[in-house]
Structure 1
Amino acid sequence: MDPNNAPNNNAKADVDSRNNTNANNHSNFSSNLTVFTITRMGNPEKANIEKSFLKKAEASVRFSPLVRQVLASSGPIVLTISSGMTSGYSAILLPQLEHENSTISINTDQASWIASMAALPMALGCILSGILLEKFGRRMAQIITAVPFIIGWALIGMATNIEMILIGRFITGLCVGLTGPASSVYIGETSDPKYRGFLLAAVSLAIAIGLFIAHLLGTFMAWQTVAYISVLMPLACIGLLVFVPESPTWLANKGYLKKAEDAFFWCRGHSLEAVEELSALMQKQSTIASEKVSWSRYKSPAFWKPLLIINLFFITTQFSGVNAVAFYSVSIMQDTVGEGMDKYVAMMIIDTIRLVMSVVACILTKKYGRRPLTNISSVGTAVSLVGLSSFLYVSKMYPAIANFSAIPLGALIGYIVFVTVGLVPLPWAMTGEVFPQSLRGVGSGISTSINFLAFFIVVKTSPSMTTYMQPYGAFLTYGCAALIGGVVLYLFLPETKGKTLQQIEDHFKGEGKKMQDDNKAGVV
């Protein structure tokens, strides 16, 4: 049994003394919460009731809360793997379509449309996801998303002409946008503060896994086969989500208090700390229910402050060239090792580095805070890009320098390492943490749509930048963007590691000064 489910008597007494007021407001929710409340009210039979509560809690937790939280997160993570496969699919699709034996022939213009078609609807998908999250729930939004994901991949697999491929790419791209906010919000609302950073960082790991799988399968299989295999991911997501509850936060917001309590205890166990957080959640729900829905919520610092910070984070990530540099990674790898190196091998080496560092990012996010990783990642990313830019510039002036090919390779690997441990996973992780309870779906939808708009702008402008500014000029620009964005994030990014979602919301309202002071966080 998880040790959190059997706290010692001193801890119980300390929690009792701190939360007497909260318990009085929520004594009518259910038997478990009632027992907890009575113990907080100084009942003469406190000791026996508390003992009975803990015994019941111990008997009810057959699997540790961590196991259940991992199970709850597995559905969103599997669906996100399909998003990664969507992003990596064009890299294996286009070479096969351009082959002389291809049953579907394409020209250069059609190839560019295939590559960009998935990116076009991603921002729209994020906005629609915010609506689905609030109307149908976090869990159901993902089940709804999985259905068109299956249809999109099936259309690509069955395609006999370019139009079917484009339609399939558009649908899967839309689903990538739908998946982004839903996965982060659901994981954030079902996980314990101790594990939330690790589980949210696994979303970016899932993207890396999806890229790796798509490129690996495409190296050995036909593009149609890869598309059919990709159908398995959204199917598996539906199967996994059947066995987990809806987000307790969403259920509480909609007034389903008993279901919210059951879902919360299923995910978090029956520790006194968990009951304390549930009490705060219910209290917040009663406050939301008494408020009139108006634009004043959107003008609250609890909403616009995290919205600005997360938008800045996403823009910094995209304008650090995370996707643009990837397009040149294979050529840099080939130039370093030699022209005889197969481009698929070079691509798999880069994917492996990215995958390994995504695993490292999950571990680091669990151990360290968001702020230290952001600072290290932004500075390391900037230094790597400036180093790569400097080498390309000097080698253009002095061709003999080009023989030192290990330098750009080292800069490239350094870039992948630093950008993957911070700038890539953390904005996605914090999207599921920083927005207020009543507007979490809307906030995550807006911020992730900004991310995909920035993604589209960077990818669209990168060819022109490398033409008119040369690659060294483009890389220098991306490096400066990473450094400037990192400085601003250093000033304003709060630390959320180990904090409950309510503590984070209170911080942005100006009621969480202790959270800020304890973590030396930004000045928001």
Structure 2
Amino acid sequence: MDINDDVEAMQSRTRTELGEPFIEKTWINDEEPSKEKSRGKESIAYVFISTLAVVVGSYELGSCVAYSAPVQSAISKDLELSVAEFSLFGSLLNVGAVIGAITSGHMADQCGRKGAMRISAVICSAGWVAIYFSKGALLLSIGRLFTGCGIGVLSFVLPIYIAEIASKELRGGLATLTQLMFVIGIASTLILGTVVTWQTLALTCILPCLVLLLGLLFIPESPRWLAKAGHQKEFIDALRRFRGDDADISHEAAEIQENLQSLTCMPKVGLLDLFDRRYLHVVTIGVGLMFLQQFGGVNGIGLYASEIFVSAGFTSGKLEVVAFGCIQVPMTALCAVLMDNCGRKPLLLVSATGTFVGCFLTGTSFILKSHGIGQGWVPILVLAGMLIYIGSFSIGMGAIPWVMMSEILPINVKGAAGSLVNLVNWLSAWAVSYSFNFLMQWSPSGTFYVYSGFCAVAVLYVIKVVPETKGKTLEEIQASLNSA
């Protein structure tokens, strides 16, 4: 029996499990196609609602990242923290995220996508409670570490879950909603932090965790994880719910099962196995994108944007920081709209090119300032460079590496490889944010030229290494990468 016979038999078995006769459907009028179109819309709505139920976790991620910025002076005063103690408090988020990243893949494999999200939401909530009741640096730091662990897991599991429930036509746009909610979470926390106490702000940051826990009660587990875990009936039921009650899911179900059966012949994959030739290509794509995403400077530039604007000649930089933060929301929304129309690779190229232009313009502006040339234009040029940079980042490099990670990693290595890719991202984020002030003391222009160099490498990397995944099922992506 050849592979076509296997697929046909599997389709027959799947339809039998669904209680459907193994016959081809033919229509003699337009009545049934119109019903199928309506049912398609209903299934799209269900996938969209399920996505909304989990992307609140990305809002939580943004809240965690932004929390320290508006509360620094208040926490330092109320708890009598030294600069070193508050700096430790801020940096522990990335430390916790690294711990979460290391465990995220194994947790998602063993507990399921929903189980991993539940655990991370509970961990984050515990962290915020600890921060709320803090009377000194110790409990405050423990709380920050816990929130970091929680978002380290969430940042991996969320795009994986969305990619595994969405159809190939919707996957890119829906996955980009994670980045959109992330920047909305940042903006909301920054604004709210200016009008409430740091304790109250900590309580508000628990709300997304509670909403996530509630939403997880009403949505199915990832069908692909259910199939991998051997829960056949639940797999069929979940896939049916995501595709519509009367949709013919036999081909997709058979494709998923066939792909999983081929993977069961492979040995269990550990971290060192990822450097095997069969996995090295996809791991290189994921690690490379995450490395270049961060070393383009986004964490340093974003965290210290106000200081950059003050260095350029602005009085306080507050209005400029508001513009810097607000532009991310519409540009990320535009990314969500364009991703499944234009494709991942074109948006990455536009984004990486734009970040190069933004960094190069900002670096050149600081050179003009250091030589006393065009002093009146320097602040305007820096603002323009910064807005070009963050707008370009938001339209591609911000979201697409996470989307592609969820698409290109085979399900049998998503645990180990996902942990590695997630770890690289958070370690790179820590390295960039930690080194930024030292680089600026060395040379403001040199700092941005270094970042522009990484952005230029990102352009070449996308051209040479990164594949296009638009319009393909996850199984089709695996087949194309294996044949490359």
TM above 0.5, one fold? yes
- Provide the residue aligned with 1:481 in structure 2: 454
Distance 1:475 1:34 in 2: 62
CA-CA distance at 1:272 after TM superposition? 6.1
SS of the equivalent of 2:298 reads coil
Letter matched to residue 464 of structure 1: F
SS in 1 for 2:193: helix
Q: Deviations over 1:278-322 (max 9, x none)?
A: 210122233334555366974665532111111111111111101
For residues 271 and 485 of structure 1, do their structure 2 counterparts lie closer, same or farther at Cα, with a shift above 3 Å needed? farther
- The answer to whether structure 1 residue 90 and structure 2 residue 64 are counterparts is no
Q: Kindly indicate whether residue 284 of structure 2 is the aligned counterpart of residue 308 of structure 1.
A: yes
Pick from 144, 148, 156 the counterpart of residue 173 of structure 1.
Answer: 148
Distance 1:485 1:178 in 2: 26
Equivalences for 1:34-113 in 2 at 5 Å? 35=20, 38-39=22-23, 47=26, 61=39, 64-98=42-76, 102-113=77-88
Write the deviation string for residues 40-89 of structure 1: whole angstroms up to 9, x where unpaired.
5xxxxx659x99xx79x959959711111112212331111111111001
What residue number does 1:13 align with? none
Q: Distance in 2 between matches of 1:138 and 1:509?
A: 25
Per-residue deviation, 1:401: 3.0
Q: Give the number of equivalent residue pairs.
A: 478
CA distance in 1 between partners of 2:143 and 2:371 (Å): 46
Letter in 1 for 2:23: T
Matched residue type, 1:233: P
Q: Which whole-Å CA distance do the structure 1 matches of 2:37 and 2:321 have between them? A: 51
Partner of 1:10: none
Q: What CA deviation, in whole Å up to 9, does each residue of 1:106-149 have, x standing for no partner?
A: 11111211111111121221121101111111111101111111
SS of the residue aligned with 2:471? coil
Q: How does 1:266-277 map to 2 (within 5 A)?
A: 266-269=241-244, 274-277=249-252
Which secondary structure state, in structure 2, belongs to the residue aligned with residue 193 of structure 1?
Answer: coil
Query: 1: CA distance between counterparts of 2:72 and 2:138?
Result: 15
The 3-state SS of whatever aligns with 1:35 is coil
- State which of 497, 514, 518 in structure 1 corresponds to 2:470: 497
Partner Cα distance (2:44, 2:363) in 1: 45
2:118 counterpart residue number: 143
The offset of 1:220, in angstroms, is 0.7
Letter of the 1:502 counterpart: E
CA contact (8 A) 1:334 1:346 kept: no
SS across alignment from 1:173 = helix
Q: Is the 8 A contact 2:306 2:317 kept in 1?
A: no
Q: Which amino acid aligns with 1:278?
A: A
- Counterpart-to-counterpart distance in 1, 2:433 and 2:407: 28
Give the secondary structure class of the aligned counterpart of 1:80: helix
Structure 1 letter corresponding to 2:321: M
Q: CA deviation at 1:274?
A: 4.1
Q: Is the 8 A contact 2:36 2:247 kept in 1?
A: no
For residues 134-184 of structure 1, the C-alpha deviation after alignment (integer angstroms, 9 at most, x for no partner) is 111111110111111111111111212121111110000111101111101
CA–CA distance in structure 1, aligned partners of residues 8 and 56 of structure 2: 38
- Shift in alpha-carbon separation, 1:364–1:484, aligned structure 2, 3 A: same
Does 1:318 find its partner at 2:265? no
What value does the CA root-mean-square deviation take over the aligned residues? 2.6
Matches of 1:20 and 1:371 in 2, distance apart? 36
What is the aligned partner in structure 1 of residue 9 from structure 2? 24
2:348, 2:400 within 8 Å by CA — same for their partners in 1? Answer: yes
Q: Tell me, what secondary structure is at the counterpart of 2:170? A: helix
Q: CA deviation at 1:33?
A: 4.7
**Distance in 1 (alpha carbons) for counterparts of 2:174 and 2:69:** 28
Equivalent residue number for residue 411 of structure 2: 437
Aligned residues with identical type, % of pairs: 23
In structure 2, the residue matched to 1:390 is: 364
Cα 1:325–1:162 shift into 2, 3 Å: same
Contact 1:332–1:409 (CA under 8 A) maintained in structure 2: no
Listed as ranges, the gaps of 5+ residues in structure 1 are 1-17, 41-45, 511-523
**One-letter identity of the residue aligned with 1:228:** L
Change in 2 beyond 3 A, CA 1:259/1:467: same
Task: Report the alpha carbon displacement of residue 412 of structure 1 after superposing the two structures with TM.
Answer: 1.1
Q: What secondary structure does 1:393 align onto?
A: helix
Please show how residues 140-219 of structure 1 align to structure 2 within 5 Å.
140-219=115-194
Q: How does 1:272-421 map to 2 (within 5 A)?
A: 274-293=249-268, 298=274, 303-333=279-309, 338-339=314-315, 341=316, 343=318, 345-421=319-395
Q: Within 2, Cα distance between the matches of 1:59 and 1:474?
A: 54
Moved more, 155-164 or 225-234: 155-164
* CA shift digits 1:379-420 (9 cap, x unpaired): 111111111111111221125434443211111111111111
Asked if the contact 2:366/2:378 (under 8 Å) is kept, the reply is no
Q: Deviations over 1:462-494 (max 9, x none)?
A: 2221222x1100100000111012202211110
State the SS of the aligned residue for 1:219: coil
**Distance in 2 of aligned mates of 1:62 and 1:404:** 54
Equivalent residue for 2:239? 264
Q: 1:62 to 1:467 in 2, by over 3 A?
A: closer
2:482 is aligned with 1:509: yes
- CA distance in structure 2 between the aligned counterparts of 1:444 and 1:237, rounded to whole angstroms: 22
Q: 1:60 to 1:477 in 2, by over 3 A?
A: closer
The code of the aligned residue for 1:201 comes to: T
Q: In structure 1, the residue corresponding to 2:88 is in which secondary structure?
A: helix
Q: Normalising by structure 1, what TM-score?
A: 0.85
* Residue of structure 2 in register with 1:228 after alignment: 203
Residues 47 and 206 of structure 1, relative CA distance in 2, 3 Å threshold: closer
